[in-house]
A and B are shown apart, each in its own frame.
Chain A
Amino acid sequence: MTIGEALIEGLQVTVVGLAIVFGVLVILMLVLMAFKAIFYKEPAKAAKALPAAESKALPAARKTDKNKAEPAPVDEGELVAVLTAAIAAAYSTSTYHLNIKSYRRVGNASPEWNKAGLEDVINSTY
């Protein structure tokens, strides 16, 4: 094979190959766009529905209490980010729906048996 032949054959394969790769992925892109049209509900609606459920589920963690002093100065933004992520993970949802307005530290005054039970659950899951 001379260099000219090699380049011509190579170019043909390149054009056809890239066209097929793009073709397949463009089809998948159209499928995904259809997904968005079919499955994705307006954020306003979703955002309203979820926090309502959240505040019922986690009253202690989410109730407002601005008056209580924090024990140590912490990075508010970072803490809120971590809390949001934790709630999102626990409810297998996206942080997109969550909006933490305030938080309050609650002491762990639960009985020893409860703590042991909780630890058990955590250990068996992860």
Chain B
Amino acid sequence: MLDAFSSFLGSTGIAALLNNMMTAVSSGKNILEVIGTPLMIAIACLLLYLAIVKKFEPLLLLPIAFGVLLTNLPMFQNSSAILMHTEFFTDPQYMIDGHLDIQRIFAEGGLLDLLYLGVKLGIYPPLIFLGIGIMTDFGPLIANPKSILLGAAAQFGVFITFLGALAMGALIPSIGFGVNEAASIGIIGGADGPTAIYVTKTLAPALLPAIAIAAYSYMALIPVIQPPIMKLMTTKEERSIVMEQLRPVSKTERILFPIIVTIVVALIVPDAVALVGMLMLGNLIKESGVADRLAKTAQNGLMNTITIFLGLTVGATAKAETFLTPATLGIVLLGLIAFCFSTAGGLLLGKLMCKLTGGKVNPLIGSAGVSAVPMAARVSQQVGQKENPSNFLLMHAMGPNVAGVIGSAVAAGVFLAMFA
């Protein structure tokens, strides 16, 4: 009886926590590693607070934060209760010739290991794009073809940040940013969570949690980050420009657009097809109007399911030993730079178009070229309406906004083609 009780006590999380801390202290590890577990639980609670009380992208941040919590609960080594073994996916010791040891993951993996396969094998982000495709209206883009260039200009931040991360890696070698890491960090500037995850899981899996959390947090902060830059870079007259009404777009155009985009992208950047192809499939399902049931499922049930799996498992990769590093701080800083430069890139081209068209384009729609749909377009609308209350930029800004989704997926394809 007493034996049973003491062996139960020995198996509790409290015992595991004390045991792990003792081992860390006795083997002379630094303070971060000793208090890593409680610190990560505190971070998880902070993220939960941001998601629930501050409503920062709660649909994603809530599962991410809970994933962080689940993966950092104190456990003994080799305990069968461990939900996530990040080492199976990143440590060569647990892999076969650098490939995943699927047998081991099935035999020994916990719940989150199995779900994480969907991230690692590149299944979830394209499926999310399927749902986004159904919710996206490319009409404003088709009506105003020039606005697609603003979506390209806003990828400026992606490449600037890539440069910045490379420079940081060269200046601080211990942070360990090579080209692969730099590309993954740069793609944060695309302001597109699934794209960032899709690139990172291939190029720099160890940085996945930090990059995903940074990308989604900054997307939630777009209404805070963008307006000051927008005001700084545009004049009052430019901000109050009223744009011409968009032409109506026929159903034929709406149906042809996704098909043509898929073919064009595949011909030039095949690596972007997983994302762009699914995005366009979703859009075609909606615009064709012949598969309403599929549209309803893909944008509701399927997308919500995938969002839970994706958020939970991305959060679960944030183990103390990989997350509490200088690299995470570097990513948070570079991510902010990425968002600022993407906004600036879009605005600059917007200003140029304003000049070239003789003041017909309001440069504010340029900042919507970052792909966070529809927040970025809404910010353009709000900033524009502050100058001129009867100005409605929303539909004009949706063009660059959805072009940004295509643009960042293409940028992701470029990185994958170069470095994967």
Q: Please tell me if the beta carbons of B253 and A35 are within 8 angstroms of each other in the complex.
A: yes
A11-44 CB mask vs B (1 if < 8 Å, else 0) is 1011011101111111111111101100110010
Give min CB distance, B244 to chain A, whole Å.
11
Q: Please tell me if the beta carbons of B250 and A39 are within 8 angstroms of each other in the complex.
A: yes
A60 within 8 A of B: no
Can you name the residue of chain B whose Cβ is closest to the Cβ of A30?
Answer: B145
Q: Please tell me if the beta carbons of A29 and B169 are within 8 angstroms of each other in the complex.
A: no
The residue from B170, B249, B406, B415 contacting A1, defined by CB atoms under 8 A apart: B170
The residue from B148, B155, B167 contacting A10, defined by CB atoms under 8 A apart: B167
Main secondary structure of the interface of A (DSSP, over half): helix
Q: Please tell me if the beta carbons of A24 and B410 are within 8 angstroms of each other in the complex.
A: yes
Determine the chain B residues whose CB is within 8 A of the CB of A16 once the complex forms. Answer: 414, 418
B199 within 8 A of A: no
Q: Please tell me if the beta carbons of B247 and A24 are within 8 angstroms of each other in the complex.
A: no
Q: Please tell me if the beta carbons of B268 and A31 are within 8 angstroms of each other in the complex.
A: no
Q: Which of A5, A27, A35, A93 has the most CB of B within 10 A?
A: A35
**Given A10-B167, A13-B418, A43-B247 in contact, is the A23-B156 Cβ separation under 8 Å?**
no
B350 within 8 A of A: no
A82 within 8 A of B: no
**Given A35-B142, A96-B248 in contact, is the A28-B406 Cβ separation under 8 Å?**
yes
The residue from A14, A22, A30 contacting B162, defined by CB atoms under 8 A apart: A14
The residue from B167, B170, B268 contacting A20, defined by CB atoms under 8 A apart: B268
Give min CB distance, A23 to chain B, whole Å.
7
B93 within 8 A of A: no
Chain A residues at the B interface, C-beta cutoff of 8 Å: 1-3, 5-7, 9-11, 13-14, 16-18, 20-33, 35-36, 39-40, 43, 46, 92-94, 96-97
Roughly how many angstroms separate A9 CA and B419 CA in the complex, as a whole number? 12
Can you name the residue of chain B whose Cβ is closest to the Cβ of A23?
Answer: B268
Give min CB distance, B186 to chain A, whole Å.
9
**Among listed B32-40, B112-120, B259-267, B324-332, interface-contacting one:** B259-267
Give min CB distance, A29 to chain B, whole Å.
5
Q: Please tell me if the beta carbons of B145 and A10 are within 8 angstroms of each other in the complex.
A: no
Determine the chain A residues whose CB is within 8 A of the CB of B406 once the complex forms. Answer: 24-25, 28
Total interface residues on B, CB under 8 Å, equals 47
Given contacts A30-B145, A93-B248, 8 further A-B contacts (CB under 8 A): A3-B171, A18-B159, A21-B414, A22-B149, A29-B145, A35-B253, A36-B247, A96-B247
Can you name the residue of chain A whose Cβ is closest to the Cβ of B272?
Answer: A24
5 closest cross-chain pairs (CB), A and B: A94-B248, A32-B145, A10-B163, A6-B170, A14-B159
Roughly how many angstroms separate A27 CA and B268 CA in the complex, as a whole number? 10
**Given A17-B414, A22-B152 in contact, is the A31-B260 Cβ separation under 8 Å?**
yes
Q: Please tell me if the beta carbons of B163 and A32 are within 8 angstroms of each other in the complex.
A: no
Q: Please tell me if the beta carbons of A18 and B155 are within 8 angstroms of each other in the complex.
A: yes
Determine the chain A residues whose CB is within 8 A of the CB of B159 once the complex forms. Answer: 13-14, 17-18
Give min CB distance, B56 to chain A, whole Å.
29
B16 within 8 A of A: no
Determine the chain B residues whose CB is within 8 A of the CB of A3 once the complex forms. Answer: 167, 170-171
B134-171 CB mask vs A (1 if < 8 Å, else 0) is 00000001100110110110011011101100110111
Give min CB distance, B171 to chain A, whole Å.
6
Determine the chain A residues whose CB is within 8 A of the CB of B247 once the complex forms. Answer: 36, 40, 43, 96
Determine the chain B residues whose CB is within 8 A of the CB of A29 once the complex forms. Answer: 145-146, 148-149
Q: Please tell me if the beta carbons of B411 and A10 are within 8 angstroms of each other in the complex.
A: no
Q: Which of A1, A9, A10, A21 has the most CB of B within 10 A?
A: A21
B47-60 CB mask vs A (1 if < 8 Å, else 0) is 00000000000000
